[in-house]
Amino acid sequence: MSLSVGLAIGARPLEPLELALLRAGHRIEWRAHSADEAISLLAERAPDAVLILDDPAFTRADIVGTADLLRVRSVLVHRGTVSAQGARLDVADRIALENDAPPDVSLLDAAPAPALSPEAVTFGAPAVAEPASPPTPVRAPEPTLAPAHEPDPAARPEPRSQPEPEPVAPTRIPYHPVETEGEHPEPIPSRVITVWGPTGAPGRTVTATALAAELALRGRRVALVDADTYGGTIAPALGLLDESPGFAAACRLAGSRALSADELTRVSQPLSAESGVSADRLRVLTGIGRPSRWPELSSDRVTAALDACREWCDVVVVDAGFNLESDEELSSDIFAPRRNAATIAALRAADRVVAVGAADPLGLARFLRTYPDLVEAVTDVPVQVVITRVRSSILGLDPAGQVRHTLDRFAGIRDAVLVDDDPAAADAALLRALPVPLAAPKSALRAGVARLADALGYAVPRSTGRRSPFAWRRTG
């Protein structure tokens, strides 16, 4: 099998390695002389595999993270002994350069070594034990990877019954999803979560879809609802055909008192097979295709439909519109439908509201001007603030500190979740028509969504809370 290979090995050629690749029928796509050049070449011409030299100049998490994001196979090239920095990359496929024998590149023809699935990704740093003696050679057939699947549930103790044993080698801490068949070790804190944000595209849909996927990966049965009467885009963002909008159909059935769990399953849609999420784990009720259909989403229908969804799934994530104005109720016809009624009904029916704002001067100004109206509209529903696209390029030094100071000074908000700017992960999600946790599971954007899920009460037991080595795009 002929593969295109990228070489991140520096300016000095490794003739034995390159000759072995050519003799095996592989094609050398490019050679990078620095880590930054390797990242640029990966983005421009993604090969089938990238060979990374075990050298401090190239054993960087951002190279492996970029390769994983682009679905490029990473292979570590070492000189008989893997360094501690190279071992921290947790690359399973390795090629040893021996002095006498030509390097064995046959592993490129075999299937890639087992990698962590999106369900097995966490955002804690690897626990590294200090070696008591010089490191011993690491053999390629025995990668130090955490298991991608749980053992037999009957053979392991109950969750949190005892801590996991300390690892003795660099390893990535596995994420263990909650048991799936509706039986959870702890009560569900919020059944209906409504995602709202002011005008200006702060990232409502990206946050809603990513949060729904994150909760599904944590073992919950999730319903994702598009209740935006102005510009619902969940269906095109996830590559779903919505010739008959699912949520509008659910509202019509709720208006005739015929909405049941079976009907909700019928009018909803699962994600594509590429997502790897089972059809009963995440269901999507798509929004209206044309804005003129907003009268179908009346306040009573939306409330009844969300109440039915509350009993249908463990968690309901609602993508609501931006407009909170109720001046239209001053119309002389008190029985006329209201376009903003669906948004207000979704907010008042929620157990928790996620308020999304953008981390730039305009986005923060829009958010702070509208936030009091949101608090007034939801009355006693708790609000979790999320600020997206936090970056130093527009806020200067310490962008996270500036955002927190602004929120505390003008709105008294001190528990906001800040999500770092990660355009590559957002673009990958749109390109593959998948939520961010499935399209870019190791990205900084997914890490922010995971913090949001934790803040909403869906944290999973972990043996450590240290930071992830793959959060290489963080600016705050």
In this predicted model, what pLDDT tens digit does every residue of 137-147 receive, in sequence order? 444 444 444 44
Identity at 459, one-letter amino acid code:
A
pLDDT over 50 (residue 150):
no
Tell me which residue of 457, 438, 388, 127 sits closest to 275, measured CA to CA: 438
**Token pair for 217:** 């990966």
Say whether 192-458 and 4-115 share the same fold: yes
Count other C-beta atoms under 10 Å from residue 295's C-beta: 14
Q: Which two tokens stand for residue 53?
A: 């030299």
Task: Specify whether the CB–CB gap between 198 and 158 falls below 8 A.
Answer: no
The pTM of the whole model exceeds 0.75: no
> The tokens of 165 are what?
């044993």
pLDDT at res. 43: 82
Are the CB atoms for 422 and 474 separated by under 8 Å? Answer: no
Domain ranges of the chain: 4-115, 192-458
Angle among Cα 307, 308, 310 to the nearest 5 degrees reads 65
Torsion-angle region of residue 412: left (phi > 0), alpha (psi -120 to 50) or beta? left
- The per-residue pLDDT for range 378-393, each reduced to its tens digit, is 988 999 999 999 999 9
* pLDDT tens digit sequence for 410-448: 999 999 999 999 999 999 999 999 999 999 999 999 999
CATH domain 192-458 topology: Rossmann fold (3.40.50)
Indicate whether 173 pLDDT > 60.
Answer: no
Question: pLDDT tens across 21-76, in order?
Answer: 888 888 888 888 888 888 888 888 889 899 899 888 888 888 887 888 788 889 99
CA angle 277, 278, 282 (to 5 degrees): 75
In terms of CATH architecture, what is 4-115? 3-Layer(aba) Sandwich (3.40)
Tokens of 357: 């704002």
